[in-house]
Copies of this chain bind each other. A is one copy, B any other.
Amino acid sequence: MTIQSAIHALSFLGDRLTLSKSDLDAHGASETHFAAAPPDAVAYPRNTGEVSQIVKTCAEHDCPVIPYGAGTSLEGNTSAVRGGVTIDMAQMKRVLAVNAEDMDVVIQPGLTREELNTELRATGLFFPVDPGANASLGGMASTRASGTTAVRYGTMRDNVLALEVVLADGRIIRTGARARKSSAGYDLTALFVGAEGTLGVITELTLKLQGQPEATSSAVCAFAAIGDAVNAVIATIQMGIPMARIEFIDAETTRACNAYSKADMPEVPHLMVEFHGSDAGVAEQATRFGEIIKDMGGTGFKWSSKAEERAALWDMRHKAYYACLALRQGATAIVTDVCVPISRLAEAVQTSRDDIAASGLQGPILGHVGDGNYHAILLVEPGNKPEMEIAKGLSNRMVERALAMGGTATGEHGIGLGKLDYMHAEHGEAWGVMSEIKQALDPKNLLNPAKVVQIN
């Protein structure tokens, strides 16, 4: 019983099982700094039945299975560190049902968020979760992704109503319901969302949708200091202004965006905001926000309902990761992802900023500050061990400070390989409970092994 015998037994997939080196390499690569860890084969199932067969076959041969969406995760979440078969959902991208009246949609996991929103355009509905990357929705569920709109619409935790999941032994289950709420037993949907494929393979998702807002407006404004920008965010939340997005970029990120997206913002910290609502509601929100940032010393505030200005703004924000990478030629990145209670956010960001400045590395900071979540993009030369050590030290200290503040090591990227070392510090005994659940549901430790929990 070996990986090779599993691959042999998967021959029923025909040319939808590939062993080509380029395909294996592509599936073992990382968006960030993780070493390549290719699988031994990549399977492209077309439906749930095939996924079940693949998982069952691999279980019979003790072969690891790694679910794979668009490959945009940042923590090595899909690295095949123990080899095995990667299940690529590229051929499971169908929209199975749009229930417009119920404002939900049933989809296959390989569909990306942009593809879904293109499909929905004519319905007046949209799926709001936006992690920046055009990730697959199965992958977004698996890492409990969020991004720029979580402050208003929540994370994947809040937007997945129901799942179909293939368990470690090939059984197919359904969790949740299309009803908006339920008290019918353990919340298995929430258990599989964020499990990074370690408890089961998601083969179908029922997602909540939102009505496209009648009006949308957006704005950028500049601040002299990080603390002023963050305090403006805190005040906005406490006033109950329902921003759809409120994003922070520091002076270094602003410089990167100016260069990459040909913008000309002053090189100081900025907030980028968006409001959704009725025409009158959006105007009221923008006016009240304008008053708050004036009190906090914000400058250059100007809101606009023009679709093209808005598109340019969020295009620039979505490309910020690549803009930051471009600050240093050939660099790779360690991307941090802490999230803290918002009362501690200004202190957390400023301390991170100072720590990075003292390190000699470049490390622009940006974040979904309405949630207390921010990232530093720590730029290192690939293979430069001393730099990697410095970056890891910065990242460690950022996490330690976040945990001491009641926060988390990862707001939205998941554990993957990159955050495993912090799990005990964050969860203590509760990490052991996660292992107990993993062992109950995947006793052979074959589903995306070596991620989230440490079994052996």
Contact = CB atoms under 8 A, between A and B. Distances in A.
A341 B178 contact: yes
B183 A143 contact: yes
A180 B237 CA distance: 12
Contact of A99 (B157, B199, B341, B441): B341
Interface string A178-189: 111111111110
Contacts of A239: 211
A247 interface: no
Interface residues of A, number: 91
A341 B173 contact: no
A182 B341 contact: no
A155 interface: yes
A139 to B, nearest CB: 12
Interface in A276-303: 277-278, 280-281, 284, 288
A430 B188 contact: yes
Contact of A441 (B179, B194, B406, B436): B436
A80 interface: no
Contact of A426 (B184, B211, B284): B184
Given A280-B284, A429-B173, A181 B103 contact: no
A448 interface: no
A422 to B, nearest CB: 8
Contact of A186 (B177, B373, B409, B452): B452
Interface string A418-456: 010011001111110110110111000000000011000
A409 B191 contact: no
A410 B183 contact: yes
Contact of A240 (B183, B190, B211): B211
Contacts of A354: none
A128 interface: no
A268 interface: no
A146 interface: yes
Contacts of A428: 173-174
A260 B157 CA distance: 41
A308 B99 CA distance: 40
Given A101-B343, A211-B240, A186 B179 contact: no
A183 B411 contact: yes
A164 to B, nearest CB: 10
A155 B181 contact: yes
Contacts of A177: 339, 406-408, 426
Contacts of A143: 183
